[in-house]
């Protein structure tokens, strides 16, 4: 694979190799207004897909450069850091960049049939414009080395996300209230975050994240730094949907347009989780008293509560996307638990689960979207007999659902195994027990859906099984690809696991907090 990638990169012009980092963000950022000017939905979709494929090329270039050189730093305007703004790519954010780009491409391929059905023709170009801005914002958060630019890109992605969710109001008016709730809580989170950045600037006199870390080394137990940590932790907790700050997420995922739900479920909270790791472990000094106390006494209990309480909440939901939404909060608990362990093994396991959860939850939302477009499926009981009437879609849903549980031969099993191992290595038997209990609860809510699909009879009309709308190959192909990926990464997890291990070792030096 590396030989093929190297041969492909050798064909690219020199300017692509030299400026891949800024082009990764600038291309989708500038493409949004152009998509809006195209006015027609299919034209805007084709333009957005073309640009997303270009960002995929830039991401692969960065992957090759990081594998060869360890990290890549791009200084804007020839202002050397820490004076100028920089983009920095290492093994930690490379994993996130690849994830966002691949899921962005797959979401666009998948999303055209649903957008044509769910969004009014006059609004379709605006939808793809907002999508590209959200895409650019998430990439910007992951790649920038400037703390204030993290806030700027967070807001670019958030504001466009509010628009994407609200555009579901044509099919479901609840999307409007969900978007408003997301707006209020997202704004509160952003306010807390930017106040924390302000305190950091007061304490260090710099916004370059690498330089902030250097400046903090001589601060000791500084009250301004502690205040900065608290504000940033709460702000990113809201953005990450950390329990109990997650109340915006179920409505946003359940009532947004199908394509938006797929993309957001697989990327948005993952980028926020990355940002939390970057600040809590990469910027603030690992091992500081307040850092270790927050991880052990606050983050770990919240993570376990999310895993158990939200899994129970998922059991009692009738709406399919609400089940998946509460499940997402529970799965975020797994990731945050890995971070709270404060060890290289725990952080690595959390990052690996972030990757695996993105591909499995993206596949589940895709399958539910196809069911809805073909048969109008919204609730669990609507799944009756779809295992026979829609075998390929049901198979994709089944593989991703089993991966969510953590069944062997799926990617979900791998990351849960490493999480349990890291917890036992830390001596946290109660955390390992919580992982197992949450996985058992997932058997019940996933099993309820599978039972409906395979063991119940399909509805009939005049003695014949009702036929739904034909499934578009554009929608089905990404689902099957993600289902295959959930099996592939069980047997060969070298890419995500290698990047996660390298990132955790770089952040913690192979040790712990």
The three-state (H, E, C) secondary structure of 250-286, written as one string:
HHHHHHCCHHHHHHHHHHHHHHHHHHHHHHHHHHCCC
Q: Shortest CA distance to 359 belongs to which of 422, 308, 403? A: 403
Q: Shortest CA distance to 263 belongs to which of 103, 127, 141? A: 103
- Domains of the chain: which residue ranges? 301-513
Please give the pLDDT value at position 420.
Answer: 93
pLDDT over 70 (residue 220): no
User: Using alpha carbons only, what angle is made at residue 59 by residues 57 and 60, rounded to the nearest 5 degrees?
Assistant: 65
pLDDT in tens, 262-300: 999 999 899 999 999 888 888 886 555 556 677 778 888
User: Using alpha carbons only, what angle is made at residue 352 by residues 283 and 506, rounded to the nearest 5 degrees?
Assistant: 35
Which positions ≥6 away from 53 have C-beta within 8 Å? 105
Q: SS3 of 87, please?
A: strand
Flag the least confident range among 137-146, 179-188, 208-217, 234-243. 208-217
pLDDT over 80 (residue 466): no
Please give the pLDDT value at position 512.
Answer: 40
Which positions ≥6 away from 385 have C-beta within 8 Å? 453, 456, 457, 458, 459, 465
Q: How many CB atoms sit inside 10 A of residue 289's CB?
A: 10
Burial code of 104-139, b = ≥16 C-beta within 10 A, e = fewer?
A: bbbbbbbbbbbbeebbeeebbbbbbbbbbbbbbbbb
Tokens found for residue 328: 């997402």
Half-sphere exposure of 45 (CA within 13 A, CB side): 20
C-alpha–C-alpha distance, residues 173 and 86, integer Å: 42
Please give the pLDDT value at position 25.
Answer: 93
What are the phi and psi torsion angles at 86 (to 5°)?
A: -130, 150
Q: Shortest CA distance to 452 belongs to which of 373, 371, 360, 366? A: 371
pLDDT over 70 (residue 511): no
Residue holding tokens 């404060």? Answer: 342
Please give the pLDDT value at position 461.
Answer: 54
| Omega before residue 82 within 30° of 0, cis | yes
pLDDT over 80 (residue 469): no
> Do residues 284 and 229 touch, judged by C-beta distance below 8 A?
yes
Please give the pLDDT value at position 510.
Answer: 43
Percent of the chain with pLDDT over 70: 95
Q: How many CB atoms sit inside 10 A of residue 396's CB?
A: 25
Average pLDDT, the chain: 87
Which positions ≥6 away from 52 have C-beta within 8 Å? 28, 101, 104, 105, 108, 132, 135
Q: How confident is the model at residue 513 (pLDDT cuts 50, 70, 90)?
A: very low
Q: How many CB atoms sit inside 10 A of residue 312's CB?
A: 15
Averaged pLDDT for residues 354-379: 90
> Do residues 108 and 48 touch, judged by C-beta distance below 8 A?
yes
Which positions ≥6 away from 432 have C-beta within 8 Å? 420, 423, 424
Please give the model's pTM, rounded to 2 decimal places: 0.91
Q: How confident is the model at residue 196 (pLDDT cuts 50, 70, 90)?
A: very high
C-alpha–C-alpha distance, residues 325 and 266, integer Å: 11
pLDDT over 80 (residue 249): yes
> Do residues 197 and 151 touch, judged by C-beta distance below 8 A?
yes
C-alpha–C-alpha distance, residues 381 and 170, integer Å: 24
Please give the pLDDT value at position 400.
Answer: 93
pLDDT in tens, 47-103: 999 999 999 999 999 998 888 888 888 888 777 777 788 898 888 889 999 999 999
What is residue 428's DSSP assignment?
Answer: -
Q: How confident is the model at residue 402 (pLDDT cuts 50, 70, 90)?
A: very high
Tokens found for residue 118: 């769910």
> Do residues 196 and 231 touch, judged by C-beta distance below 8 A?
yes
pLDDT in tens, 99-136: 999 999 999 999 898 888 888 888 899 999 999 999 99
Tokens found for residue 395: 């198979």
């Amino acid at each position: 694979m590396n030989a093929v990638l190297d041969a492909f990169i050798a064909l690219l012009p020199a300017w692509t190799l030299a400026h891949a980092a800024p082009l990764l963000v600038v291309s989708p950022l500038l493409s949004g207004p152009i998509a809006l000017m195209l006015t027609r939905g299919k034209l805007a979709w084709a333009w957005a897909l073309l640009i997303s494929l270009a960002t995929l090329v830039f991401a692969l270039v960065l992957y090759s450069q990081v594998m060869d050189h360890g990290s890549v730093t791009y200084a804007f305007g020839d202002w050397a850091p820490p004076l100028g703004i920089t983009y920095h790519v290492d093994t930690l954010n490379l994993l996130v960049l690849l994830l966002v780009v691949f899921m962005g491409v797959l979401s666009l391929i998948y999303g055209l049939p649903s957008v044509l059905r769910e969004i009014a023709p006059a609004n379709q170009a605006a939808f793809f414009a907002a999508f590209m801005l959200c895409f650019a914002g998430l990439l910007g958060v992951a790649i920038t080395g400037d703390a204030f630019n993290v806030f700027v890109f967070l807001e670019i992605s958030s504001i466009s996300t509010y628009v994407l969710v609200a555009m579901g109001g044509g099919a479901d008016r609840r999307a409007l209230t969900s978007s408003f709730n997301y707006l209020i809580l997202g704004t509160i989170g952003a306010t807390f975050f930017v106040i924390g950045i302000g305190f950091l600037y007061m304490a260090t006199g710099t916004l370059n994240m690498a330089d902030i870390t250097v400046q903090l080394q001589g601060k000791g137990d500084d009250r301004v730094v502690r205040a900065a940590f608290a504000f940033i932790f709460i702000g990113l907790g809201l953005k990450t949907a950390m329990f109990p700050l997650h109340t915006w997420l179920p409505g946003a995922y359940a009532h947004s347009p199908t394509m938006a739900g797929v993309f957001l479920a697989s990327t948005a909270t993952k980028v926020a989780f990355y940002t939390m790791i970057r600040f809590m472990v990469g910027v603030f000094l690992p091992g500081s008293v307040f850092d270790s106390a927050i991880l052990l006494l606050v983050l770990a209990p919240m993570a376990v509560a999310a895993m158990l309480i939200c899994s129970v909440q998922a059991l009692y939901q009738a709406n399919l996307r609400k089940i998946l939404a509460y499940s997402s909060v529970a799965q975020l608990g797994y990731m945050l638990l890995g971070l709270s362990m404060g060890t290289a093994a725990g952080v690595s396991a959390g990052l690996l689960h972030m990757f695996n959860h993105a591909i499995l939850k993206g596949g589940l939302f895709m399958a539910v979207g196809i069911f809805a477009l073909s048969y109008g499926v919204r609730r669990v009981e609507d799944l009756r007999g779809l295992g026979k009437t829609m075998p390929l879609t049901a198979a994709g849903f089944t593989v991703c659902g089993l991966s969510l549980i953590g069944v062997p031969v799926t990617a979900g099993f791998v990351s849960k195994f490493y999480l349990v191992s890291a917890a036992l290595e830390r001596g946290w038997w109660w955390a390992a027990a919580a992982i197992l209990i949450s996985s058992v609860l997932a058997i019940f809510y996933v099993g309820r859906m599978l039972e409906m699909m395979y063991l119940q009879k399909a509805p009939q009309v005049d003695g014949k099984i009702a036929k739904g709308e034909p499934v578009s190959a554009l929608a089905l192909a990404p689902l099957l690809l993600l289902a295959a990926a959930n099996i592939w990464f069980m047997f060969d997890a070298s890419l995500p696991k290698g990047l996660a291990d390298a990132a955790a070792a770089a952040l913690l030096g192979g040790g712990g907090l």
